[in-house]
């Protein structure tokens, strides 16, 4: 029996040694497109929204241009349409990630019709079953609850993805995506994306529950600093679809912002280059973040 | 509880540790307790169903053992069959037959009030443990097996956790004597069981679950993939997925049993190397095919009746086998296809021989065997379309489009097609391919020799490099977030 146990321990040890190769990847938060946001300390300022904001807004640029005027660190805490549309789960997760004592934070709340829409009946939010709804520890490194429950890639892909760096999550939460940007590739991706969003438009509705959660999110954040509602640039075809899907969306956002006394910046029709009609290219994301910083400085709330 | 879950990784060593640590008289109760815990971790309330059918089968077997004639024993046989098959019917087939009768009535314009459907969840493993119990009861009825007097031992025979939810379907005559024996700690046997478990885990998490990533998008939405090459690739991928999944499960089950000192029968013997469909069924899911042979085909008269009756028996057995897999027309067609293959294969035997003489294949047995393997593989793979498709409409769509779109292949890069197939994860495709190759090479290597003996004969260093390598392959390449084994649903 003791020989068997000894040898099993040896085998487990060898396996554990083999897993050490993953150490640097995991400790640097490069497990997937989300993990790193749950390994840093609680934030003083946040960028919120879906993958558009995750890829489109670079906290480092905002910090460099506006640094010292808000409490850091500024973290991009935007995920995807599946995980972080506005709703009770995202609101709770934001509450966990935010340092409670912050009073001079900066909060960029990115909105679009999809992040306020819902498939199915009101009150049933699919993201409740994802890490956004279920992960309670959002600031620990390594984040074992996330790794054991939500890391779904086979382990070799952690190393491979790290080496190829198609996606790289920066420590400030910005998701840098390095994929081909020649016009043929972009056109093909845009066509596919448009098809996906047409299906979404056919099956979703603007949700009263999500709008209510957006208002609650803004109300919460206002207690901690300045809040700005932002609609990010998208490609013309997707914008056209969004206008057909929710023609009154812009007006609704203006009213929401006005009622909560926060500014609303609409960049949706600005001509920034995208990878797929939906997400900004890396260079466009830099340019947009610079423009956003410049515009923020001119806002009355900043004076 | 799945064999490839963290839960099992904790459960199994505790059970093994306690099993060998406890005095012999407590080991049976421990295994029974562990088996019920294993089953209840899925849905506790259905353990009552398992217990109820076990009690009834034990009672029937016990009473039969006290009666001298078959005629006297018959009521207890019927009682047990009614309870087992009734359970299966209520939980698995009621809604299927209700819908079928409704559709038939509508087709012939007869008014029919079907009544509400039953909203019951299928108890996991119900088809396996009821068949095992039915086999036991028939054996006792026939006088081939003495009824088990010890209820705990009988309950363990029905519920033994390594084979409870997906077989192999064992026989009382093989397992009950093993439950009576004391199994001493045997280092070599335990290591051999662990090796088998590791190999089963590799086939499941590295090969089968990875192939599922390629198969599911196509089979779940075939109309979005109407190109023949893609459909053929998905069908081939499923052919290896189901083998990796089910034979992987079986190896895990056999390995776990072996660690505890028990031997299960072999369930797979390189089935895709079969040179005919009848041979395939002697190598695939052997415990089920032999069950059908012994408890249905032979009692129906088998092949000792007239030619057409024998064909009818074959077809009936395979249609029922199809239905055993699931209450869906797709399984019925799958069973019917295999039944049809067997009938044609039997009927055409003289013609095949004549053809072999004419073409000169009779003088080249290796070539003839190779062609037989290729043809059998193609027929079996085609039938898997019906097994995997979500409904009959999808299966027919896939069948009809298998040969379309090939003319465009030359104008299109094969790499693009493969990339589309792999859902844009090129490495996954490569790993899937390599996994299948490794699985097939190892299984081919083991066709004429015991791999266990071969491994055990290697020098210590070679073995350990192999163990650590396999462990790392499983850790790094394994997909651990999948749902259950395919055969759990049956």
Residues B143 and B214 in one domain: no
Those residues of chain A that have pLDDT short of 50 are none
Q: Where are the domains of chain A?
A: 24-302
Closest residue to B187, CB basis, from A4, A148, A155: A4
Residues B326 and B436 in one domain: no
Residues B20 and B93 in one domain: yes
Residues B213 and B349 in one domain: no
* Residue B398 within a domain: no
**B 419-438 → A contacts, CB under 8 A:** 427, 431
Asked if B187 and A3 come within 8 Å (Cβ–Cβ), the reply is: yes
Asked if B185 and A14 come within 8 Å (Cβ–Cβ), the reply is: no
State how far residue B217 is from chain A, nearest Cα, in angstroms.
15
Asked if B477 and A4 come within 8 Å (Cβ–Cβ), the reply is: no
Asked if B187 and A18 come within 8 Å (Cβ–Cβ), the reply is: no
DSSP string, B375-442: HHHHHHHHHHHHHHSSSHHHHHHHHHHTTTTGGGGGGS-HHHHHHHHTTT-HHHHHHHHHHHHHHHHH
Residues B207 and B177 in one domain: no
Closest residue to A154, CB basis, from B20, B190, B477: B477
Task: Say what the pLDDT of residue B408 is.
Answer: 72
What does the CA dihedral B331, B337, B339, B342 come to, rounded to 10 degrees?
Answer: -150
Task: Say what the pLDDT of residue B411 is.
Answer: 57
Asked if A18 and B191 come within 8 Å (Cβ–Cβ), the reply is: no
Specify whether the CB–CB gap between A208 and A118 falls below 8 A.
Answer: no
Asked if A18 and B475 come within 8 Å (Cβ–Cβ), the reply is: yes
Specify whether the CB–CB gap between A211 and A116 falls below 8 A.
Answer: yes
State how far residue B58 is from chain A, nearest Cα, in angstroms.
36
Report residue B135 as tokens: 């086999």
Q: CB of B187 within 8 Å of any CB in chain A? A: yes
Asked if A155 and B476 come within 8 Å (Cβ–Cβ), the reply is: yes
Chain A residues in contact with B481 (beta carbon < 8 A): 152
Chain B residues in contact with A160 (beta carbon < 8 A): 427
A contact set with B (CB within 8 A): 1, 3-4, 11, 14-15, 18-19, 148, 152, 154-157, 160
Tabulate helix, strand, coil % of chain B (nearest 5).
Answer: 75, 0, 25
Asked if B468 and A4 come within 8 Å (Cβ–Cβ), the reply is: no
Asked if B478 and A1 come within 8 Å (Cβ–Cβ), the reply is: no
Q: Which of B225, B285, B325, B338 is catalytic?
A: B325
State how far residue A11 is from chain B, nearest Cα, in angstroms.
7
Chain A residues in contact with B476 (beta carbon < 8 A): 18, 154-156
Residue of B nearest to A10 (CA): B468
* Residue B404 within a domain: no
State how far residue A33 is from chain B, nearest Cα, in angstroms.
16
A280 in helix, strand or coil?
Answer: strand
Residue A36: CB atoms within 10 Å = 24
Residues B43 and B18 in one domain: yes
B225 is known as an active-site residue: no
Task: Say what the pLDDT of residue B421 is.
Answer: 63
* Residue B1 within a domain: no
Residues B68 and B181 in one domain: yes
Residues B39 and B164 in one domain: yes
State how far residue A186 is from chain B, nearest Cα, in angstroms.
15
Strands A204-206 and A175-177 turn out to be unpaired
Chain A residues in contact with B191 (beta carbon < 8 A): 4
**B 467-486 → A contacts, CB under 8 A:** 467-468, 471-472, 475-479, 481
Q: Which residue has the tokens 């299927």?
A: B96
**What's the CA gap between B141 and B79, in Å, rounded?**
12
Asked if A157 and B6 come within 8 Å (Cβ–Cβ), the reply is: no
Specify whether the CB–CB gap between B482 and B205 falls below 8 A.
Answer: yes
Q: CB of B460 within 8 Å of any CB in chain A? A: no
Chain A residues in contact with B201 (beta carbon < 8 A): none
Residue of B nearest to A11 (CA): B468
Residues B57 and B73 in one domain: yes
Residue B27: CB atoms within 10 Å = 20
Closest residue to B475, CB basis, from A15, A148, A157: A15
Residues B111 and B165 in one domain: yes
Interface test with B, best of A154, A158, A162, A189 (most B CBs within 10 A): A154
**What's the CA gap between B461 and B463, in Å, rounded?**
5
Asked if B468 and A152 come within 8 Å (Cβ–Cβ), the reply is: no
Q: Which residue has the tokens 């083999």?
A: A18
Residue of A nearest to B425 (CA): A157
Specify whether the CB–CB gap between B195 and B254 falls below 8 A.
Answer: no
* Residue B308 within a domain: yes
**Domains in chain B: how many in total?**
3
Those residues of chain B that have pLDDT short of 50 are none
Specify whether the CB–CB gap between B155 and B58 falls below 8 A.
Answer: yes
Return the H-helix or E-strand segment holding B449.
none
Closest residue to A18, CB basis, from B472, B478, B481: B472
Assign a CATH topology to domain A24-302: Rossmann fold (3.40.50)
Residues B421 and B359 in one domain: no
Asked if A11 and B20 come within 8 Å (Cβ–Cβ), the reply is: no
Residues B381 and B452 in one domain: no
pTM of the model: 0.82
Asked if A156 and B477 come within 8 Å (Cβ–Cβ), the reply is: yes
Asked if A148 and B431 come within 8 Å (Cβ–Cβ), the reply is: no
Residue of B nearest to A2 (CA): B187
Phi, psi of A101, rounded to the nearest 5 degrees: -85, -5
State how far residue B206 is from chain A, nearest Cα, in angstroms.
9
Chains A and B form CB pairs within 8 A to the count of 39
Closest residue to B471, CB basis, from A3, A11, A156: A11
Segment B2-11 long-range contacts (CB within 8 Å, at least 24 positions apart): B2/B484, B2/B485, B3/B197, B3/B200, B3/B201, B3/B204, B3/B249, B3/B252, B3/B253, B3/B256, B3/B485, B4/B201, B4/B204, B4/B205, B4/B252, B4/B478, B4/B480, B4/B482, B6/A148, B7/B41, B11/B37, B11/B38
State how far residue B479 is from chain A, nearest Cα, in angstroms.
5
**What's the CA gap between B202 and A17, in Å, rounded?**
20
Chain B residues in contact with A129 (beta carbon < 8 A): none
Chain A residues in contact with B190 (beta carbon < 8 A): 4
State how far residue B81 is from chain A, nearest Cα, in angstroms.
43
* End position of a domain, from candidates B322, B355, B390: B390
Q: CB of B14 within 8 Å of any CB in chain A? A: no
Asked if A157 and B190 come within 8 Å (Cβ–Cβ), the reply is: no
Asked if B468 and A11 come within 8 Å (Cβ–Cβ), the reply is: yes
Residue of B nearest to A14 (CA): B468
Task: Say what the pLDDT of residue B382 is.
Answer: 97
Chain B residues in contact with A154 (beta carbon < 8 A): 210, 431, 476-479
**What's the CA gap between B80 and B101, in Å, rounded?**
27
DSSP string, A56-113: H--HHHHHHHHTTSS-S-EEE----TTT-SSSHHHHHHHHHHB-TT-SSEEEEEE--G
Residue of A nearest to B210 (CA): A154
Q: CB of B20 within 8 Å of any CB in chain A? A: yes
Closest residue to A14, CB basis, from B20, B191, B468: B468
Question: What is the extent of the structural domain holding B130?
Answer: 6-185
* Residue B271 within a domain: no
**What's the CA gap between B297 and B300, in Å, rounded?**
5
For B393-422, write each residue's pLDDT tens digit: 999 999 999 988 787 766 565 666 666 666
């Amino acid at each position: 029996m003791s020989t068997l146990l000894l040898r099993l321990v040896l085998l487990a040890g060898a396996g554990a040694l083999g897993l050490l190769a993953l150490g640097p990847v995991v400790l640097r938060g490069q497990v997937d497109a989300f993990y790193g946001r749950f390994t840093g300390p609680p934030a003083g300022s946040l960028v919120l929204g879906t993958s558009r904001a995750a890829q489109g807004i670079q906290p480092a640029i905002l910090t460099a241009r506006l640094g010292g005027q808000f409490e850091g660190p500024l973290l991009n805490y935007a995920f995807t349409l599946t995980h972080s549309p506005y709703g009770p789960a995202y609101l709770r997760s934001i509450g966990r990630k935010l340092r409670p004592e912050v009073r001079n934070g900066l909060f960029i709340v990115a909105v679009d019709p999809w992040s306020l829409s819902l498939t199915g009946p009101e009150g049933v939010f699919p993201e409740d079953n994802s890490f956004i709804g279920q992960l309670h520890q959002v600031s620990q490194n390594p984040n074992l609850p996330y790794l054991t429950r939500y890391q779904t890639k086979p382990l070799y892909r952690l190393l491979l993805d790290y080496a190829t760096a198609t996606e790289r999550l920066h420590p400030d939460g910005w998701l840098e995506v390095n994929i081909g940007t020649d016009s043929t590739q972009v056109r093909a991706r845009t066509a596919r994306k448009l098809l996906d969003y047409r299906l979404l438009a056919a099956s979703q509705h603007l949700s009263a529950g999500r709008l209510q959660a957006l208002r609650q999110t803004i109300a919460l954040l206002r207690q901690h600093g300045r809040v700005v509602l932002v609609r990010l640039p998208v490609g013309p075809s997707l914008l056209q679809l969004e206008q057909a899907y929710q023609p009154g969306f812009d007006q609704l956002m203006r009213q929401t912002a006005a009622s909560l006394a926060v500014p609303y910046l609409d960049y949706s029709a600005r001509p920034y280059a995208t990878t797929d009609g939906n997400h900004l290219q890396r260079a466009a994301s830099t340019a947009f973040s610079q423009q956003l910083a410049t515009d923020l400085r001119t806002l009355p709330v900043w004076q | 509880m799945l064999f490839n879950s963290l839960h099992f990784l904790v459960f199994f060593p505790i059970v093994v540790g306690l099993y060998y640590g406890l005095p012999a008289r407590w080991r049976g109760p421990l295994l029974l307790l562990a088996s019920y815990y294993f089953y209840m971790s899925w849905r506790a309330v259905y353990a009552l169903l398992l217990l109820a059918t076990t009690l009834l089968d034990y009672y029937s077997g016990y009473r039969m053992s006290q009666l001298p004639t078959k005629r006297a024993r018959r009521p207890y046989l019927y009682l047990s069959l009614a309870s087992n098959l009734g359970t299966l019917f209520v939980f698995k087939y009621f809604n299927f037959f209700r819908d079928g009768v409704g559709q038939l009535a509508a087709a012939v314009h007869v008014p029919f009030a079907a009544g509400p459907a039953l909203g019951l969840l299928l108890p996991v493993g119900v088809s396996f443990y009821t068949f095992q119990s039915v086999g036991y009861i028939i054996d006792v009825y026939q006088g081939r097996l003495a009824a088990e007097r010890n209820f705990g031992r009988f309950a363990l025979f029905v519920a033994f956790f390594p084979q409870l939810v997906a077989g192999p379907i064992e026989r009382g005559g093989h397992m009950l004597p093993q439950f009576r024996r004391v199994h001493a700690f045997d280092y070599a046997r335990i290591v051999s069981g662990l090796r088998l478990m590791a190999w089963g885990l590799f086939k499941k998490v590295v090969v089968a679950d990875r192939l599922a990533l390629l198969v599911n998008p196509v089979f779940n939405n075939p109309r979005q993939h109407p190109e023949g090459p893609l459909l053929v690739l998905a069908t081939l991928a499923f052919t290896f997925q189901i083998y990796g999944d089910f034979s992987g499960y079986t190896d895990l089950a056999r390995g776990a049993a072996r660690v505890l000192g028990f031997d299960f029968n072999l369930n797979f013997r390189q089935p895709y190397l079969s040179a005919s469909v009848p041979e395939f069924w002697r190598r695939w899911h052997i415990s089920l095919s032999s069950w059908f042979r012994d408890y249905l085909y032979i009692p129906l008269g088998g092949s000792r009746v007239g030619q057409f009756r024998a064909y009818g028996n074959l077809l009936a057995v395979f249609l029922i086998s199809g239905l055993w897999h699931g209450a869906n027309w797709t399984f019925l067609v799958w069973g019917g296809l295999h039944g049809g293959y067997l009938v044609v294969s039997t009927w055409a035997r003289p013609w095949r021989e004549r053809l072999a003489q004419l073409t000169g294949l009779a003088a080249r047995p290796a070539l003839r065997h190779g062609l037989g393997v290729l043809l059998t593989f193609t027929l079996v793979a085609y039938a898997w379309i019906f097994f995997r498709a979500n409904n009959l409409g999808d299966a027919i769509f896939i069948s009809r489009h298998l040969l379309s779109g090939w003319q465009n292949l030359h104008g299109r890069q094969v790499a693009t097609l493969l990339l589309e197939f792999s859902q844009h994860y090129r490495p996954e495709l490569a790993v899937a391919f390599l996994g299948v190759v490794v699985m097939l090479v190892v299984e081919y290597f083991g066709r004429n020799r015991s791999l266990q003996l071969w491994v055990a004969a290697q020098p210590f260093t070679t073995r350990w490099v192999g163990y650590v390598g396999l462990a790392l392959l499983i850790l790094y390449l394994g997909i651990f977030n999948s749902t259950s084994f395919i055969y759990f649903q049956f």
